[in-house]
């Protein structure tokens, strides 16, 4: 018997205020995360990755609001919860790891005082027990010195160590879901690899589900089970990770993969690029939003909007494209 989804998002739409009036930046978004699953959410800056997660958790900035849809976590629609109820979910059932910990930490509080906050609030621990648990979390994420570093301030830690502490804070209350929003972008490649290995190890040991948000398809190749590719606030392709890399079907996904450096291939091969820019909020073109940038478009692409549909021979690999699957990465490069 199939497990019920841990998180299920249906028809989510998010609107922002612009000088021209309200504009939808996320629209008709549908996806799910199963218990223990790792989902990659991939796309360029501005495609709707982060704002989707913020919208679900009631963390949207001023001028942005959810206007439609549901986001059901373990049987409860997050979009119908009060602010007080959402505060219990954030940090409790759902942990967060953000891109730059220096903007997330309070610079005048010690690491320990910040690490015990979710334990005091969500688990009602005594300060002594919370401090002990904080030391355990520091060791869990591989911080040298463990409890001894709890009295340090954020600026006394390296970038990689701060990110590890941020992961420890996200895991403090044993969440069923960890949302990681481009947490390795500001790190060098060596530290980046360490953080990726750490998250993979912790997921395997703790059995939690992970949503990993990134613009880098190569980054998530060995980290997630399934990938959804976003463009202009909508899913354009969804597949198991191996299938997506073996037979990418949407021209946007093909373009993202074609722009990745390769160790093997013709000498002097230039990296491919995707020309143009994504549409501005509220100025989505008629037909397919990617059509103005697509070298594979046909006349239908500019007049009819494609819907996300299974590819022939697969129920788990879906694409929103009129020419899906007709061109390979090599042919497009």
Q: Tell me: pLDDT of 314 over 80.
A: yes
What's the farthest any 2 CA atoms get from each other in the chain? 67
pLDDT digits (tens, 9 = 90+) for 46-58: 899 999 999 999 9
Q: Tell me: pLDDT of 104 over 90.
A: no
pLDDT at 2: 59
pLDDT digits (tens, 9 = 90+) for 208-220: 999 999 988 888 8
pLDDT at 332: 47
Q: Taking the alpha carbons of 215, 217, 222, 223 in that order, is the dihedral positive or negative?
A: positive
Position 326 confidence tier, pLDDT thresholds 50, 70, 90: low
Winning range, highest mean pLDDT, from 28-32, 145-149, 188-192: 28-32
Residue 193 DSSP symbol:
H
pLDDT at 301: 95
Confirm or reject CATH 3.30.70.240 for domain 35-57+76-224, answering yes or no. no
User: Using only C-alpha atoms, what is the Rg of the chain?
Assistant: 21
For the chain, how many residues are written? 333
pLDDT at 267: 60
User: 259 near 270, Cβ under 8 Å?
Assistant: no
Q: Tell me: pLDDT of 195 over 80.
A: yes
pLDDT digits (tens, 9 = 90+) for 139-168: 888 887 778 899 999 999 888 888 889 999
pLDDT at 333: 47
Select the more confidently predicted residue: 64 or 284. Answer: 64
Query: Would you kindly state where each structural domain of the chain is located, as residue ranges?
Result: 35-57+76-224, 255-332
Per-residue HEC secondary structure of 78-115 comes to HHHCCHHHHHHHECCCEEEECCCHHHHCCCCCCHHHHH
- Lowest-pLDDT range, 172-176, 305-309, 312-316? 312-316
pLDDT at 302: 94
Reference 170, options 188, 145, 195, 151; nearest CA is 195
Reference 113, options 161, 170, 154; nearest CA is 154
């Amino acid at each position: 018997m199939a497990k019920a989804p841990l998180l299920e998002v249906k028809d989510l739409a998010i609107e922002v205020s612009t000088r021209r009036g309200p504009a939808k930046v996320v629209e008709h978004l549908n996806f799910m995360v199963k218990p223990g699953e790792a989902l990659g959410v991939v796309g360029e800056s501005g495609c709707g990755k982060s704002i989707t997660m913020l919208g679900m958790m009631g963390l949207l900035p001023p001028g942005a609001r959810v206007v439609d849809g549901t986001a059901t976590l373990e049987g409860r629609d997050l979009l119908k919860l009060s602010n007080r109820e959402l505060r219990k979910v954030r940090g409790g059932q759902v942990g967060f790891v953000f891109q730059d910990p220096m903007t997330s930490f309070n610079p005048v509080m010690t690491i320990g005082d910040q690490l015990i906050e979710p334990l005091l609030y969500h688990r009602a621990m005594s300060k002594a027990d919370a401090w002990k648990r904080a030391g355990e979390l520091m060791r869990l994420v591989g911080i040298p010195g463990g409890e001894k570093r709890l009295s340090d301030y954020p600026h006394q830690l390296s970038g990689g160590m701060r990110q590890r502490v941020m992961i420890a804070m996200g895991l403090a209350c044993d969440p069923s879901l960890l949302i990681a929003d481009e947490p390795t972008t500001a790190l060098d490649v060596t530290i980046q690899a360490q953080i990726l290995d750490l998250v993979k190890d912790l997921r395997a040991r703790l059995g939690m589900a992970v949503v990993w948000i990134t613009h880098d398809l190569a980054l998530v190749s060995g980290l997630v089970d399934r990938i959804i590719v976003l463009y202009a606030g909508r899913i354009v392709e969804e597949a198991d990770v191996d299938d997506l890399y073996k037979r990418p079907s949407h021209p946007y996904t093909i373009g993202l993969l074609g722009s990745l450096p390769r160790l093997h291939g013709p000498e002097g091969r230039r990296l491919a690029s995707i020309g143009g820019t994504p549409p501005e909020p509220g100025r989505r073109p008629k037909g397919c939003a990617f059509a103005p940038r697509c070298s594979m478009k046909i006349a239908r692409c500019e007049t009819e909007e494609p819907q996300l549909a299974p590819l022939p021979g697969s129920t788990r690999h879906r694409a929103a494209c009129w020419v899906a699957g007709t061109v390979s990465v090599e042919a497009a490069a």
